[in-house]
Structure 1
Amino acid sequence: MAAARRLLSLLLPLAWARPGGCSDPPGGGWLAGTVPEEERCTVERADASLTYSLFLQRFAFSRPVILRGVTDNSAFRALCTREKLLAAFGARPVRLSTANTYSYRKDTLYFFGDNNFTEWGPLFQQYVPPPFRIPGTSPAYSFGIAGSGSGVPFHWHGPGYSEVIFGRKRWFLYPPDKTPHFHPNETTLAWLHHTYPRLPPAERPLECTLRPGEVLYFPDRWWHATLNLDTSVFISTFLG
């Protein structure tokens, strides 16, 4: 019970940022992509009226859920437009793990290179300051920017939350006892084109596209892969 209470309470950091009174360019100035969404979302959605007891009963240890209306990240969105990030950090090289394209290589690229993803501390500290970290937990916060068509191949770890600031991110999820068929060095986009169409309906994953203003929760050890439909700016909270 205490562990589940901590899981739910970690939504609080995501709700910290408040409206900043400024208008964003459409989509933050980031490029829209052409990768298609799923035909039908099969991940259950809930809103801010979801109670703690129902979260425990229905989702915390059993299945993913997309939560709507639990965040207001307007102030953080204002910091994450393409213009502002390019001006502040566009020339900085980063160490890029290519697990979002090809699993195990690492390269040094500029921040806004193709299919880019990086963990980035200073800006994120403005969104989740130390007073909002929950005592007794050791969450890892990840801030990323990724190009259309990029994504992370299937993997699993502890439970977590993911939120999209700009763009759209498509998710594929399997329960712990159902290992997906995939190659670790194949991109999620290649898996979608080559493997997904051959899957019988009963063997297809839960899937849905996450949009700004929504938070995906996934339980412990659930397999998941992601595919960025647009250039996406996102935040994830990993709890194990």
Structure 2
Amino acid sequence: MLHETQNVDRVSNLSREEFLQKYGICGKPVIFLDLMDNWKAKTCWTPEFFKSKYGATHVTVRKTKTPDDERTMRLGEYIDYMESTKEENPYYLKYWGFSDDCPELLEDYNIPEYFNSWHQQLPDEIRPRWSWIYIGSTNTGSGMHIDPAMSSAWNAVISGRKRWVFYPPEDEPYLYDGKVDAFNPDLKKYPLFAEARSLTCIQNSGEIIFTPGGWWHQVVNEENCIAITGNFVNETNYKMVKNYLEVSEVPKLNQLKQAVKQYIPQFYSNSQ
């Protein structure tokens, strides 16, 4: 039998200091209800908008349940597919790194102050592009995972609705390296998953969710959905990110390790 789930907190009018104390430093997911009110993207970013303005842009889409099944198509073609598909395992446009090819879209939203990221201090040529647009139909989503380099993330739903489930870092031994499907778990194959403790929520249009670094999570779109997400590192999670970089043996991270020491002194001055 699975553990009883708890709901993710839903907040508004939260100061940055309150966020740090209640959610950021301790690492706890939360939904913000009032951070997108003045975003142009909230009213502008419709399927018709992306199809008319960026329909010729080539994007890579992947099957939700079999992510190795991917293809490249024009964005307009994908939107037509999204609006008509009835597939149980549809293609999903995720990780669209729009900022280089469509930088004007950056002007349509403002990153909330809670999520200001130290990685912006890195030189442009080595700075991770930690902003993505996600567009998908009902039943698209992301399997169980933690975010890159132990970074934290924010996700804003422009239209549609998402269902989330979260698991704290200490429950990692029960999660089988993310192989288990949290929405339809096979307890015969993954019996320890019954010991995992979850937080769950529905994220509606106009809401932003915070995912702390190191938390495992899984997401499914319950309606056709357009969202934007960004990852970040700051005082809430830098120790985890620093430790990850120090022990990582991934060759492509060697340059990033040295750049962090050179350009982001907070990683080391704050850890003394």
Classify the TM-score, shorter chain: 0.5 to 0.7
Stretches of structure 1 lacking an aligned partner (at least 5 in a row): 1-38
TM-superposed deviation, 1:75? 2.1
Structure 2 distance, partners of 1:205, 1:143, is 26
Percentage identity across paired residues of the two chains? 22
TM-superposed deviation, 1:208? 0.4
- Larger RCO, structure (CA 8 Å, separation 6 or more): 1
User: Where does residue 192 of structure 1 map in the other structure?
Assistant: 183
Instruction: Give the TM-score taking structure 2 as reference length.
Output: 0.61
Q: 149-158 or 77-86, which moves further after superposition?
A: 77-86
Cα separation, partners in 2 of 1:57 and 1:192, compared to 1, 3 Å: same
Structure 2 distance, partners of 1:129, 1:219, is 20
Structure 2 distance, partners of 1:210, 1:72, is 16
User: Where does residue 34 of structure 2 map in the other structure?
Assistant: 69
User: Where does residue 3 of structure 1 map in the other structure?
Assistant: none
Q: Does 1:181 align with 2:172?
A: no
User: Where does residue 28 of structure 1 map in the other structure?
Assistant: none
Between structures 1 and 2, the one with greater helix share: 2
Q: Does 1:212 align with 2:205?
A: yes
| Counterpart code for 1:101 | K
TM-superposed deviation, 1:88? 2.5
* Correspondent of 1:117 among 62, 85, 93: 93
Instruction: Give the TM-score taking structure 1 as reference length.
Output: 0.68
Instruction: Give the RMSD, CA atoms, in angstroms.
Output: 3.3
Does the 8 Å CA contact 2:175/2:196 hold for their aligned counterparts? no
Cα separation, partners in 2 of 1:92 and 1:135, compared to 1, 3 Å: closer
Stretches of structure 2 lacking an aligned partner (at least 5 in a row): 82-89, 121-128, 234-272
Q: Does 1:145 align with 2:127?
A: no
Does the 8 Å CA contact 2:33/2:206 hold for their aligned counterparts? yes
User: Where does residue 159 of structure 1 map in the other structure?
Assistant: 152
Aligned residues: 195
TM-superposed deviation, 1:203? 2.9
Larger radius of gyration: 2
TM-superposed deviation, 1:166? 0.1
| Counterpart code for 1:149 | N
Cα separation, partners in 2 of 1:184 and 1:218, compared to 1, 3 Å: closer
Does the 8 Å CA contact 2:164/2:200 hold for their aligned counterparts? yes
Cα separation, partners in 2 of 1:220 and 1:67, compared to 1, 3 Å: same
Cα separation, partners in 2 of 1:135 and 1:229, compared to 1, 3 Å: closer
Does the 8 Å CA contact 2:169/2:215 hold for their aligned counterparts? yes
